[in-house]
Amino acid sequence: MSEEKKPGRRRSFWYEVARVLATVALNTVLPVRYHHAERLAGKMPMIVIGNHQSWLDPVVMGFPIKKRQVTFMGKKELAANGLIRGILKEAGVILVDRHNTDMEAMRACMKALRGGEILGIFPEGTRHHEGVMQEMETGVAMIALRSGAPVIPVLVPKLRWFHVVDCYVGEEIPTADLREQGINTQTCQALMERITAWYAAMLEKAGTKFAES
């Protein structure tokens, strides 16, 4: 099966519910204006990364992807409650232990990408309120280099009640040159540094619009 024909993940019931609620919220009480959302319509599989400020960030990051379900990575602490764990599992969330090398989660991510899915990752691992992509977990670099999937960055704003905020989708972050050098500690570190620089450039280009969001 070619990359273009891989079906990806079928939308689950809870994912559809979330999209309906997001459609209402992001067009009314928590309005978001997207820039270059067409960059999220490329060939699958794809890795979409974003900065992390709020628990609503996955909603903002995944909303412009209209025809496919995004498989998000989330910290296992989110699933402490059995009911919540069931909902997250049914919604396709990959739970990860952020404090240890979680090979099971890594294998689940690679399986999702091999199946033509869109993988949503917040490289900072947890919410940060100062700086953008200054501190990252190494997992995103390892997954990106091993899979070879395109990495698309999203500059996610903090939502504000009844105030339009701007969300920017950046150009693909190149990884092929690093993959050619081999997948190791050095190339993973180089990719993380590239991601940090990419976001710095996106912030500079967004200017005051994002700073005021």
pTM: 0.88
Omega before 45 within 30 of 0, i.e. cis:
yes
Tens-place pLDDT, residues 183-197: 999 999 999 999 999
Q: Nearest Cα to 151, choosing from 175, 184, 129, 178?
A: 175
**What per-residue confidence (pLDDT) applies to 101?**
66
Work out how many domains the chain is built from and give that number: 1
Tens-place pLDDT, residues 77-120: 776 676 777 778 777 788 887 666 678 899 999 999 999 999 99
| Distance of alpha carbon 124 from alpha carbon 25, whole angstroms | 25
Tens-place pLDDT, residues 108-130: 999 999 999 999 999 987 666 56
Structural domain including 100 reads 3-211
- How many other CB atoms are there within 10 angstroms of residue 142's CB atom? 20
Instruction: Tell me the average pLDDT of the chain.
Output: 87
**What per-residue confidence (pLDDT) applies to 128?**
61
Q: Nearest Cα to 8, choosing from 89, 111, 115, 99?
A: 115
| Distance of alpha carbon 85 from alpha carbon 98, whole angstroms | 17
Task: Give the CATH number of the domain where residue 171 resides.
Answer: 3.40.1130.10
